């Protein structure tokens, strides 16, 4: 006999109340999801939600501007919803609402897309730079439309930068909880032993900031420099440079070669290349890909800027391979 304090397991059948002369209970009605839970799902999915969303987010999702810029447009009297001029961004809209900016109807939001971009040195990853330096977004091909970056690369860092037209997708990919490894090739002035690099696996604290585990391998020594391969999952501001400085190394070249499953490979500097929807869906997982409405599409390559050379053609069968040494 089960003690009163013991609970019935989920697999155990419920008691038949009719045997004890008691009427059967009506099944409990299913409780609808909480409003905040529905909204969180919509924001994480970033697709075409049927639930309401803030007007500033709707403008940003349509690729017209950022949310902050949308709020400024509203304050300037440029936005109408169902014919009513807005004076505040505190409004939820749905696909049934008619939204106009400067008298023109809001374009249909595009499905999420992702691009690989080989960022050259000498560009900042921001839409506007207060110092007037050239930006990544000023030098992208105009046919991309408005895009945002997945994380950032600083002014002197080069290599793989992922671009997307969907803010929710970018936030998902940036999160350390997603677990995607960022891998870099690093040239640094100085000398270091592999044993010192191995200790970085335990993480390190610098000026009160805790940095997570770092995978570091000594590849080669070249003159007064060393070449390393570094892998980390957080991507904090200037993280590689700060961590290596604790080992007496001064980074003078930093190249991101991969972000999670996406790699730089032979992508020429200044070149943008579309990631196939099928590949993106496979990496995001079935559930999130379904929420985003990802479909297969043919790969598209956009011509390089900055005078970059096009990607190398595949080697013919049987041709000998030659590994290039880093410069």
**Tokens, residue 121:** 């040195």
Residues 174 and 70 in one domain: no
pLDDT of residue 49: 37
Q: Given 55, 72, 105, which residue is the final one in a domain?
A: 105
- For residues 184 and 278, state if they share a domain: yes
By the 8 A CB rule, do 311 and 267 touch?
Answer: yes
Is 5 part of any domain? no
For the annotated catalytic residues, the residue numbers are: 154
Name which residue leads in pLDDT, 258 or 1.
Answer: 258
pLDDT at 109: 66
Per-residue model confidence as pLDDT tens digits over 77-134? 999 999 999 999 999 998 888 999 999 887 766 778 999 999 999 999 988 888 889 9
| Selected residue with higher pLDDT from 315 and 306 | 315
Q: Please give the structure tokens belonging to residue 239.
A: 């993280």
Which pLDDT does position 242 carry in this prediction?
Answer: 94
CA 147, CA 258: separation in Å to the nearest integer?
20
Q: Does residue 271 share a domain with residue 177?
A: yes
What pLDDT is attached to residue 35? 35
- Decide if 41 is inside a domain: no
The pLDDT of residue 63: 65
The yes-or-no verdict on residue 5 having pLDDT over 50 is no
The region of weakest confidence among 26-40, 181-195, 286-300 is 26-40
Both 131 and 250 in one domain: the answer is: yes
Q: Do 190 and 252 touch, CB atoms closer than 8 A?
A: no
Residue 89 and residue 142 in one domain: no
Strands (E), the chain: 53-54, 79-81, 84-85, 92-93, 99-101, 104-105, 114-119, 148-149, 157-164, 182-189, 204-206, 209-211, 215-222, 225-232, 250-259, 262-263, 272-274, 301-302
Considering its fold, how many domains does the chain have in total?
A: 2
Between CA 59 and CA 65 the distance in angstroms is 7
Range of the domain at 97: 46-105
- Residue 307: the pLDDT is 40
What is the percentage of the chain residues whose pLDDT exceeds 70? 73
Higher per-residue confidence, 21 vs 164: 164
Q: Using alpha carbons only, what angle is made at residue 264 by residues 153 and 294, rounded to the nearest 5 degrees?
A: 90
Q: What is the pTM of this model?
A: 0.66
93 in the same domain as 59: yes
Q: Each residue of 257-274: pLDDT tens digit?
A: 999 999 999 999 999 999
What DSSP character marks residue 178?
G
Tell me, yes or no, whether 40 lies in a domain: no
The pLDDT of residue 26 is above 60? no
Quickly list H helices, 136-263. Answer: 167-174, 194-198, 239-245
pLDDT confidence tier of residue 25, bands split at 50, 70 and 90:
low
Give the pLDDT score at 128.
83
Residues 81 and 119 in one domain: no
């Amino acid at each position: 006999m089960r003690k009163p304090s013991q609970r019935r397991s989920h697999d155990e059948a419920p008691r038949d109340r009719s045997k004890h002369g008691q009427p059967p209970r009506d099944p409990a009605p299913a409780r609808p999801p909480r409003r905040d839970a529905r909204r969180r799902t919509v924001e994480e999915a970033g697709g075409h939600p049927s639930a309401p969303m803030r007007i500033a987010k709707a403008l940003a999702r349509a690729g017209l501007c950022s949310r902050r810029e949308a709020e400024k447009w509203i304050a300037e009297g440029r936005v109408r919803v169902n014919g009513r001029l807005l004076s505040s961004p505190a409004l939820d809209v749905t696909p049934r609402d008619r939204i106009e900016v400067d008298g023109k109807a809001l374009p249909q939001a595009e499905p999420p897309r992702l691009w690989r971009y080989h960022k050259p040195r000498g560009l900042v990853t921001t839409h506007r730079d207060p110092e007037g330096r050239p930006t990544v977004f000023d030098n992208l091909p105009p046919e991309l439309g408005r895009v945002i970056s997945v994380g950032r690369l600083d002014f002197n860092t080069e290599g793989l930068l992922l671009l997307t037209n969907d803010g929710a997708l970018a936030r998902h990919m940036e999160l350390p909880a997603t677990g995607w490894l960022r891998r870099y090739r690093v040239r640094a002035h100085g000398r270091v032993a592999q044993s010192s690099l191995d200790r970085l696996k335990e993480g390190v604290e610098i000026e009160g900031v805790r940095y997570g585990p770092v995978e570091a391998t000594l590849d080669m020594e070249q003159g007064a420099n060393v070449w390393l391969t570094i892998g980390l999952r957080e991507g904090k501001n200037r993280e590689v440079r700060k961590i290596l400085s604790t080992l007496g190394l001064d980074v003078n070249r930093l190249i991101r070669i991969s972000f999670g499953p996406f790699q730089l490979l032979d992508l020429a500097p200044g070149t943008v290349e579309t990631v196939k929807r099928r590949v993106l869906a496979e990496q995001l997982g079935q559930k999130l890909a379904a929420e985003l409405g990802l479909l297969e599409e043919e790969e598209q390559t956009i011509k390089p800027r900055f005078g970059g050379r096009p990607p190398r053609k595949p080697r013919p069968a049987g041709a000998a391979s030659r590994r290039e040494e880093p410069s």
